[in-house]
Amino acid sequence: MTRPKLAVWKFASCDGCQLSILDCEDELLAIADRIDIAYFPEASSRMAPGPYDLSLVEGSITTADDVARIKDIRDQSRTLVAIGACATAGGIQALRNTADVAEWTRLVYPRPEYIETLATSTAIADHVRVDLELHGCPVSKAQLVELVTAVLAGRRPQIPSAVQCVECKRHGTPCVMVSHGTPCLGPVTRAGCGNLCPSVGRGCYGCFGPVEGANTDALAAQFRRLGLPEAARRALYGGVTCAAPAFAAARGRHD
């Protein structure tokens, strides 16, 4: 029986989501004999040609070459999944989207004429059809394992779609905004991190991106009640998922 072929691709990113895949050591060993890891430069020098049954894509699109390459990857992939905040929302590098990129390039690089870049950093889905998105910075190990297991079983992956506040309730974590007046994006952020920040008394900073139907206007009203200055409210939406449409719109309304 032919094993499904898996490929893992990198665009503009820190490699953290690929490292999350490698961190699934024990879990991947359990299914290693059922899948062919055909292309994964982070883990192996083997680079088998496509087509691929499953492609996991990390990173955002930031150059013209990226645009051409992701289209070629889409053509070679039966199922294409964008993984992590960069691939699903442009990443922290998407802060360039509202800035003068030419000016930034001139200030950062001694020979800016050697730099070829787009004016924006955009999600994979802005350029090709994406079959599924796994959010997070980095992506959740549990969701990665669920994804690969589901593909092998021929079923739809069971990925959480609830808001982060639900995870706080499930873990018995007191609301940091109610208890301490700590600004938190939990009410508008997708669950999936395992309740990391609120569990240690920090406000959620939205690394899993906006939940579907995120009511950022209602949250803004709460931030005003907390006495949060406008600049601080704007900065809350300037993290790794700053270019996700709901967060970008909320950030823009504070300008």
CA separation for the pair 126, 232 (Å, rounded):
29
Does pLDDT of 5 surpass 80?
Answer: yes
**For residue 102, how far is the Cα from the chain centroid?**
26
For the beta carbon of residue 224, count every other beta carbon within 10 angstroms.
12
Question: What value, to the nearest 5°, has the Cα angle with vertex 249 and ends 248 and 251?
Answer: 65
What is the pLDDT confidence band of residue 1, given thresholds at 50, 70 and 90? low
15 burial class (0-12, 13-18, 19+ CB within 10 angstroms)?
A: middle
Give the pLDDT confidence of 169-204 residue by residue, as tens digits: 999 999 999 999 999 999 999 999 989 999 999 999
Could you tell me which residues are beta bridge partners of residue 58?
10, 83
Q: Given pLDDT bands bounded at 50, 70 and 90, which one contains residue 210?
A: very high
Q: What average pLDDT does the segment 54-59 reach?
A: 97
Q: Using one digit for the tens of pLDDT, what is the confidence trace for 133-157?
A: 999 999 999 899 999 889 888 898 9
247 pLDDT more than 70: yes
Q: How confident is the model at residue 255 (pLDDT cuts 50, 70, 90)?
A: very low
pLDDT in tens, 59-104: 999 999 999 999 999 999 999 999 999 999 999 999 999 889 999 8
Q: What pLDDT score does 254 carry?
A: 42
Q: In sequence order, what are the residues at sequence separation of 6 or more whose Cβ sits closer than 8 angstroms to the Cβ of residue 194?
A: 140, 142, 167
Q: Are 246 and 210 in contact (CB under 8 A)?
A: yes
Q: Which segment of 86-90, 159-163, 241-245, 249-253 scores lowest on mean pLDDT?
A: 249-253
pLDDT at 221: 93
CA–CA separation, 172 vs 162, rounded Å? 16
Task: Return the pLDDT at 214.
Answer: 95
**pTM for this entry:** 0.91
Low-confidence winner among 72-76, 231-235, 245-249 (lowest mean pLDDT): 231-235
Beta strands in 98-181 (DSSP E): 132-134
Please report, rounded to a whole number, the percentage of residues in the chain having pLDDT higher than 70. 98
Dist. CA 118–CA 14, nearest whole Å: 18
pLDDT at 27: 79
Q: Predicted confidence band at 30 (pLDDT cuts at 50, 70, 90)?
A: confident
